[in-house]
Chains A and B, each alone.
Chain A
């Protein structure tokens, strides 16, 4: 199975400051069709996960533009340009390139 390793696992941030989460995969996530099926999800306390980013860098509809995704191959990053109070929660990367689908351990974002 492809192992997804996130860091850090806990991320205290100051309101208005940037935040960055790393996600590394144990194999390349480039699929035979040329796409890289790396997604980022946000799970606010008590809520279901919500997809923020798909195929590395595409923001979902309604996702604030302070969220951005980047990376390639095995190394990916989710950035929040200026953290707001509503961004508190756990963030997961997920790969859909290889079976079985696998998730990172999650990164808990909290306000300092």
Chain B
């Protein structure tokens, strides 16, 4: 069974940093591209970042470019999102998802709240 479990969310002050993790199991993690998608409270879905299976490419939404860094460790079946210079508008539930073009599986999400 495919499982994606996010962790690392929490309350952080504006300008602060946070690192999200996504633990993957039930499939061959190393052959899939992966994504982060977020959802602000009461709002729709917004793609944040994607990384290819072998980390040869990373892409970012303009809203997070230069502040967020996506990475992965295929040996540990783990996906990460390093978030720096956080702003109030980054407050959202962050989901990891499998496959960039089709996002066939989603985690349960982790809540990031940016507030003073």
B-binding residues in A (CB < 8 A): 37, 39, 41, 43, 48-51, 54-55, 60, 90, 92, 94, 96-97, 99-106
By the criterion CB–CB under 8 Å, are A101 and B106 in contact? no
Task: From the candidates A49, A60, A100, name the one contacting B45 in the complex (CB within 8 A).
Answer: A49
* With known contacts A100-B59, A100-B61, A39–B103 Cβ distance under 8 A: yes
By the criterion CB–CB under 8 Å, are A101 and B47 in contact? yes
Contact with A along B92-114 (1 / 0, CB 8 A): 00010000111111111100000
A-binding residues in B (CB < 8 A): 35, 37, 44-47, 50, 59, 61, 95, 100-109
* With known contacts A100-B59, A102-B47, A48–B109 Cβ distance under 8 A: yes
Given A48-B106, A103-B47, A106-B44, 12 more A-B residue pairs with CB atoms under 8 Å apart are A41-B103, A51-B102, A51-B103, A92-B45, A94-B103, A96-B101, A100-B59, A100-B61, A101-B101, A102-B47, A103-B46, A104-B44
